[in-house]
Structure 1
């Protein structure tokens, strides 16, 4: 999946080859907004694109990885608010949601309306949470500085819809190059593509603002520099398509020198906030990301064999060893070799005894192995279904539904979705928990809310109307009608129906 800025013609000149002198570390003036596109209009366009990403087979909602990325993302958002980079209007109107894909290419991208895309390929190659934070802070700054909407405004009123079509074409190209290219060819599209690069000033502003945001959040300044160095090294290699991030965000000697200078002059806070992930945690999450990109059976077997060989000897407690064991256990799980995965997860749990966050991840992996192996009792022994984390919520709810505790699962999930209404996975599990109790009306309602969370309002409207039909014509043995639930469903139906009518007036992408 490619970013708006990565939709560039192959013949477009690369700014990575410029040789401008190093920039001063003095603050650059902000470029200002200058956008004629309202934040509400940008959010609507972003939702239309995000809806297609949700439907993409590569979209992944892995609770463990999502929680890890969200820990970094929320720290950056809090820092942007504290610095005044994130205005109250954008904070309220934009989604500020990260959508992850299984794609192995090294990329992250900003979309209209505060949606950000993150490929697991990038998570798998960064070597610290600081490096990942540098990328996310840069993309966040593109959004807070309204770079996307300003580019759209420069191209005229028709440009947003053309941009939307081109982004969807880029997504389609990852599955079917001919079909994808057919959506973005033509003279008009070619002109648009040439204009979609973020300008050099915009890239430099995103660096400057992003650097300040990540250091304010407690991440090490070195993360920005080391990430630049990693990308610079990759840019010297032949382009095999694995680093689209380099094409959408080409490096210049000026940008690199600026970040190196800022690293010297900007000090990290004396004590990093306690929610910054540890090195062991990052090693485990990077390993998980690499495995979940579906690298192929031969690679999975190799990772499993490497981990088993390491486990036979004395294993030091360091990031490399923890990453190898985690990758091996997860690779074994992917191959349904539960004996091997169980043994490696046990070794990993013992190895991380001195690091509570890392050991929690090891136990969650052990629970995942037992769940997939069908040992429900062993699964319950590794997780606390009442723990506050989302991974425990998701797996714990599945376990409770399977073991006849659907009511307890529904109670926990109800509380969660009231605080996190855009969690489609939680709504889906809540629907299952209600269905297991025979509460059909509530189950259909939860299914509708799941579709709302995934931005598929037409599908949501269909489910809301199905719920209304259940109220009008309850099935035999359904029991008395829950009139409070029915009233809520009627209200939500009218709200979603209004959205569907508004969408019908919009131009197709």
Structure 2
């Protein structure tokens, strides 16, 4: 019910996308294996409105429509290559200098570069999925306020330790720019107060 109009707005064959409900109390949703969308029961229970659930679905659909899963695999391979090259360079530097600490520093430096590059790419994909998601919601005729409210729900967790954060925040890096984009989009949207049908609210309750 939630997903079909969003998939159609994204130009996807709704019958070709599978949605799985995962029995897990943690707040998380993700795409995997091509056109498969997984949503934890914890997210469904913690979402305050149907619009928040649809906001998450629209964002994840943005990942599917954008082919992000295959691209992230390419980026992971690139990050691994950088890390391997830095390890080899570090070993060579250590041998040449006759000091193991020189080699270790070079290795760690290269690994940090690989990690920063990957995280930067991941943040770019998240922003891209946000932009696609609000377009899908607009095409369906629903406010993107739910997506914004969901992001704000996660915003306070950024200061928590990684172990204390919801899995969704760890796999979907949240930035001030993303929240600002959504807030600005909602504020200027003709649909900013448009809600889904009362029937969907009854089902959500």
Give the TM-score taking structure 1 as reference length.
Answer: 0.31
Post-superposition shift, 1:215?
Answer: 2.5
- Deviations for 1:225-284, whole angstroms, at most 9, x for unmatched residues? 11111010233445544501001112111111010000012222997675x74323212x
Gaps of 5+ in 1: 1-70, 160-189, 284-509
Q: Which residue of 1 aligns with 2:179?
A: 256
- Deviations for 1:304-363, whole angstroms, at most 9, x for unmatched residues? xxxxxxxxxxxxxxxxxxxxxxxxxxxxxxxxxxxxxxxxxxxxxxxxxxxxxxxxxxxx
Q: Which residue of 2 aligns with 1:112?
A: 33
Q: Which residue of 2 aligns with 1:209?
A: 132
Residues 155 and 231 of structure 1, relative CA distance in 2, 3 Å threshold? closer
Answer whether contact 2:62 2:132 (CA < 8 A) is retained.
yes
The number of residues matched between the two structures is: 171
Answer whether contact 1:128 1:223 (CA < 8 A) is retained.
yes
Structure showing greater radius of gyration is 1
1:221 and 2:151 equivalent? no
Answer whether contact 1:109 1:139 (CA < 8 A) is retained.
yes
- Deviations for 1:396-449, whole angstroms, at most 9, x for unmatched residues? xxxxxxxxxxxxxxxxxxxxxxxxxxxxxxxxxxxxxxxxxxxxxxxxxxxxxx
Question: What is the rounded CA distance, in whole Å, between the counterparts of 2:203 and 2:164 in structure 1?
Answer: 29
Answer whether contact 1:129 1:277 (CA < 8 A) is retained.
no
Question: What is the rounded CA distance, in whole Å, between the counterparts of 1:243 and 1:271 in structure 2?
Answer: 28
Q: Which residue of 2 aligns with 1:127?
A: 48
- Deviations for 1:57-116, whole angstroms, at most 9, x for unmatched residues? xxxxxxxxxxxxxx10112112222xxxx4xxxx49x94111111111110011131011
- The CA RMSD measured in Å over matched residues stands at 3.1
Taking the TM superposition and a 5 Å limit, the aligned residue runs for 1:398-417 are: none
Residues 266 and 247 of structure 1, relative CA distance in 2, 3 Å threshold? same
Answer whether contact 1:76 1:214 (CA < 8 A) is retained.
yes
1:243 and 2:173 equivalent? no
Q: Which residue of 2 aligns with 1:230?
A: 153
Give the TM-score taking structure 2 as reference length.
Answer: 0.71
Aligned with 1:100: secondary structure?
A: strand
Residues 277 and 114 of structure 1, relative CA distance in 2, 3 Å threshold? farther
Q: Which residue of 1 aligns with 2:20?
A: 99
1:280 and 2:198 equivalent? no
